[in-house]
Amino acid sequence: MSVISSPDLTAAGANPPGVIGSGHDGTLREQVTAYVQRVRSGEMGALPAVAGFVVLCVLFTILSPYFLTERNFANLMTQAATLVMLAMALVFVILLGEIDLSAGVTSGVAMSLFVVLSNPGGIRMNWILALLISLATGVVIGLFIGFFVARVGIPSFVVTLGLFLGFQGLQLIIIGDGGLYRIQQPEIIAIQNSNLPVWAGWVMLGVILVISLVTTLLDRRRRSRAGVSSRTIALLWIRLALIAVLGGVVIGLLSQNRGTGFLAVSGVPIVVPITLLILWIGTFVLDRTKFGRYLYAVGGNAEAARRSGIKVVGIKWAAFAVCSTLAVISGVFSASKVGSVDAAFGRDIVLSGVAAAVVGGVSLFGGRGRLIHAAVGALVIAVITNGLGLLNLPGGVNFLVTGGVLILAATVDAVSRVRAGGSILRT
Amino acid sequence: MDAPIIELTDVKKSFGPVSVLKGVSLKVYPGKITALVGDNGAGKSTLIKGLAGVQPYDEGEVKFEGVTVALHNPREAAHLGIEVVYQDLALCDNLDIVQNMFLGREETELGTFDEGKMEREASETLRSLSVRTVKSVRQKVSSLSGGQRQTVAIARSVLKSAKVVILDEPTAALGVAQTEQVLALVTRLAERGVGVLMISHNLVDVFQVADYINVLYLGQMVASVETSRTTSDDVVGYITGSKTYTGVPA
């Protein structure tokens, strides 16, 4: 966003009086140069994760004839959806420099409640009502964590570790020993197992392009009204072209018939637009509203935030509530994919979620990272699982590779910062 | 001489049995730099925390522009136009200059940020203070030097037309060139008509820019003088308690 400066900005490198840049001025070439400088100075964002994703995809395409097929492609998306959602949920608390180890079991508790309430053999509650109760359970659990972290002052690691252990028991009590409930609602099953009509996929791409265009144009209007310069419009066209090409390729692939039998299967899985919508709303909130800005501020320097009149306790409280609620949505995705909920539902996934966020470039120290970073990180981890599965390698390899990629991602980040003269700690 | 913008009379503050301020009086004038000096533990921080509304005084009168006011919380102080720039700079490293200057008081339209407006006001404020050491207002604060950070913190305080700016050790931990820049900035603040109260340990800085010098010694204001009528030796004497000020409080 800004033109990166030389470390020493005293007299010699200074601008003439009265000229202070905004990082928005300059030609396309200057903007690109500024971006390259930012990357070189260690602000890489999701770049390593994107590169890793591309490399892994190329690698698996070479190694397995099944990887780059329409079927596997759609499969990969539905496999990744749960982790993408959970990683995005965790971003809200990781930005504060906190952690929620109970996000997975929170989704387990909420989904256990859902199946027990909505099961046709049991309480037979209307499934929409049951789903709303599950989401509300997420909010309540988040507020509960927030109370202990923000009010009582216990480290979130400890609070959520306690809940991680405790909620497994709660889940067992709700579900019953060794129990397993099948998801009976076709609407829930459809999320991960049905597709949009082919035309709707293209409409979705059109909507994304229009939203991108309109928000950028509105931003430019606001800036010109305030009398400050906007970035060169060429950047907008480049971004739209990129979205159109990439989105076009993905939707084109998914529009092919990937059925194996007589039944034709095609279209974008329903989970994709849901995830994109939540990604967009979350990014909007983080970038453009006070709540989002204050999350970054508290994560960057809580004391400075407090002195600026920000209610730090309230922000923390809200962040945990958002995290737990989004975690429940990831639970819905998972239940839809698996088709059932048992007493161990959601137990194993949370650390993968944290790993996804870190691989994507979200700083565990707080204050740095975006939702899209976590989403890309989750895709990397999902593609490893998917690709290694296709290669028929023993299950242990998957864990080894995932762990290796996590450490590699952290190393790339640390080295780039040290080389840029920064500290090895991500500040 | 102008009327003081802030006038403290016989202010007291104690923490349990420890009496930290034992009846302190202080005047801050608009457009002037008033220095507050004193040894560690003299009560300087307690005095400014009361003005900032962070720790209200127990007793005594606070007059702002001639009117008696109560300062019970930071919001009331900010409302009057009293801004504090703390020693451990209250900036967020991960945010840029504009975001820091507007933190907690962002300009919004329909619930979303009006980044253009904030960017323009931040640039204008920096420009009005003749700040020329920052390249872009969209730089992350983590990429700034100590002097630049202090500059941003001071600029932040005057963004919303502050009437009084309290600076807590503005030049501590700065190099020679950066100290000069910050002191020049402090002078320009006063030239804008702002009443500046500067706490400092560095008597060289104080004698360079201050119009008045106030010396706290063990919770009492032992001297209030015009800078031109005293010497560094005298002030050191007042600070250490080895000399007694005999003149009329300025």
Domain segments of chain A: what residues? 42-194+269-419
**Distance of alpha carbon A379 from alpha carbon A88, whole angstroms:** 12
Task: Looking at the complex, report in whole angstroms how far the Cα of residue B214 sits from the nearest Cα belonging to chain A.
Answer: 26
Amino acid at B75: R
**Distance of alpha carbon A381 from alpha carbon B243, whole angstroms:** 72
pLDDT for residue B246: 77
**Distance of alpha carbon A345 from alpha carbon A326, whole angstroms:** 16
- How far lies A252's CA from each of A50, A276, A283, in Å? 21, 18, 26
The answer for residues whose C-beta is within 8 angstroms of residue A315's C-beta and 6 or more apart is: A96, A291, A294, A295, A298, A305
Fold of A42-194+269-419: ABC transporter involved in vitamin B12 uptake, BtuC (1.10.3470)
Domain ranges of chain B: 6-240
- Helix axes A103-118 and A127-146, enclosed angle (nearest 10): 150
Phi, psi dihedrals of residue B60, rounded to the nearest 5° = 110, 170
> Beta strands B164-168 and B195-199: pairing type?
parallel
- B87 near A CB under 8 A: no
Q: Do A20 and B120 touch (CB under 8 A)?
A: no
* B3: DSSP letter: P
Q: Is A361 helix (H, G, I), strand (E, B) or coil?
A: coil
Q: Which of B99, B111, B143 sits opposite A4 (nearest CB)?
A: B143
What angle (nearest 5°) sits at the alpha carbon of residue B183, between those of residues B54 and A4? Answer: 90
Contacts of A222 in chain B (CB under 8 A): 109, 114-117
Q: Do A15 and B177 touch (CB under 8 A)?
A: no
Amino acid at A38: R
Q: Which of A30-34, B105-109, B158-162 has the highest mean pLDDT?
A: B105-109
CB-side neighbour CA atoms (13 Å) of B224: 15
- How far lies A213's CA from each of A233, A244, B115, in Å? 11, 12, 18
Helix extents (H) in B32-142: 44-52, 74-80, 97-101, 115-128
- How far lies A422's CA from each of A269, A317, A418, in Å? 43, 32, 5
**Distance of alpha carbon B225 from alpha carbon B245, whole angstroms:** 9
Contacts of A300 in chain B (CB under 8 A): 92-95
The one-digit pLDDT tens for each residue of chain A (427 residues) are 334 333 333 333 344 444 577 777 777 888 888 888 877 777 777 888 899 999 999 999 999 998 988 889 899 999 999 999 999 999 999 999 999 999 999 999 999 999 999 987 778 889 999 999 999 999 999 999 999 999 999 999 999 999 999 999 999 999 887 688 999 899 999 999 999 999 999 999 999 999 999 999 999 998 888 888 888 888 899 999 999 999 999 999 898 888 877 778 888 999 999 999 999 999 999 999 999 999 999 999 998 888 888 899 999 999 999 999 999 999 999 999 999 999 889 998 999 999 999 999 898 888 899 999 999 999 999 999 999 989 988 878 888 988 898 898 888 877 877 765 544 444 4
As to burial, measured by CB atoms within 10 angstroms (0-12 exposed, 13-18 middle, 19+ buried), residue A349 is buried
**Distance of alpha carbon A347 from alpha carbon A171, whole angstroms:** 10
Range in A325-339, B13-27, B236-250 the model is least confident about: B236-250
Q: Which of B113, B130, B138 sits opposite A1 (nearest CB)?
A: B138
- Count CB neighbours of A43 within 10 A: 22
- How far lies A239's CA from each of A51, A243, A371, B115, in Å? 18, 6, 18, 21
pLDDT for residue A192: 93
Cβ proximity of A238 and A171 under 8 Å: no
Task: Looking at the complex, report in whole angstroms how far the Cα of residue B92 sits from the nearest Cα belonging to chain A.
Answer: 5
* B95: DSSP letter: S
**Distance of alpha carbon A157 from alpha carbon A96, whole angstroms:** 13
> Beta strands B33-38 and B82-85: pairing type?
unpaired
Locus of tokens 């910062």: A417
Q: Do A367 and B90 touch (CB under 8 A)?
A: no
**Distance of alpha carbon A238 from alpha carbon A294, whole angstroms:** 31
Sign of CA dihedral A67, A73, A78, A84: positive
Q: Do B132 and A2 touch (CB under 8 A)?
A: no
Locus of tokens 């922000």: A315
Q: Minimal Cα distance from B101: which residue of A?
A: A308
What is the side-by-side order of every strand in the sheet holding B67-68? B18-28, B6-15, B59-64, B67-68
pLDDT for residue B1: 58
**Distance of alpha carbon B216 from alpha carbon B40, whole angstroms:** 10
Q: Which of B89, B106, B133 sits opposite A9 (nearest CB)?
A: B133
Q: Tokens at residue A15, please? A: 């601008």
Q: Minimal Cα distance from A303: which residue of B?
A: B90
As to burial, measured by CB atoms within 10 angstroms (0-12 exposed, 13-18 middle, 19+ buried), residue A8 is exposed
What angle (nearest 5°) sits at the alpha carbon of residue A365, between those of residues A361 and A368? Answer: 45
Confidence of residue B36 (pLDDT cuts 50, 70, 90): very high
pLDDT for residue A423: 47
Cβ proximity of A370 and A286 under 8 Å: yes
What angle (nearest 5°) sits at the alpha carbon of residue A155, between those of residues A381 and B49? Answer: 125
The CA R_g of chain B, rounded to the nearest whole Å, is 18
Instruction: Suggest the residue from B83, B115, B159, B174 to mutate for an interface test with chain A (most A CBs closer than 10 A).
Output: B115
Cβ proximity of A322 and A142 under 8 Å: yes
Contacts of A284 in chain B (CB under 8 A): 112
Q: Do A9 and B144 touch (CB under 8 A)?
A: yes
Q: Minimal Cα distance from B123: which residue of A?
A: A20
- How far lies A279's CA from each of A238, A373, B211, in Å? 21, 11, 56
**Distance of alpha carbon A305 from alpha carbon A295, whole angstroms:** 9
**Distance of alpha carbon A241 from alpha carbon A227, whole angstroms:** 28
**Distance of alpha carbon B74 from alpha carbon B52, whole angstroms:** 6
- Identify which of A138, A174, A202 has the alpha carbon closest to the alpha carbon of residue A342: A174
Q: Do B91 and A16 touch (CB under 8 A)?
A: no
Task: Looking at the complex, report in whole angstroms how far the Cα of residue A300 sits from the nearest Cα belonging to chain B.
Answer: 5
Span A372-407, pLDDT tens digits: 999 999 999 999 999 998 998 887 888 898 889 889
Task: Looking at the complex, report in whole angstroms how far the Cα of residue B236 sits from the nearest Cα belonging to chain A.
Answer: 33
> Beta strands B195-199 and B59-64: pairing type?
unpaired
- B184 near A CB under 8 A: no
Which of 3.40.50.300, 3.40.50.10490, 3.40.140.10, 3.40.50.2300 would CATH assign to domain B6-240? 3.40.50.300
Asked if pLDDT for residue B217 goes beyond 80, the answer is yes
Q: Is B21 helix (H, G, I), strand (E, B) or coil?
A: strand
Beta bridge partners of B67: B64
**Distance of alpha carbon B209 from alpha carbon B55, whole angstroms:** 28
Kindly state the average pLDDT of the residues B13-24. 89
Max CA distance (Å), chain B = 62
Locus of tokens 């300009």: B107
Contacts of B160 in chain A (CB under 8 A): none
pLDDT for residue A260: 78
What angle (nearest 5°) sits at the alpha carbon of residue A26, between those of residues A20 and A30? Answer: 115
Instruction: Suggest the residue from A22, A24, A362 to mutate for an interface test with chain B (most B CBs closer than 10 A).
Output: A22
- B75 near A CB under 8 A: yes
Locus of tokens 């109260």: B197
- Identify which of A45, A115, A42, A99 has the alpha carbon closest to the alpha carbon of residue A335: A115
Q: Which pTM was predicted?
A: 0.88
**Distance of alpha carbon A160 from alpha carbon A154, whole angstroms:** 10
Kindly state the average pLDDT of the residues B118-125. 90
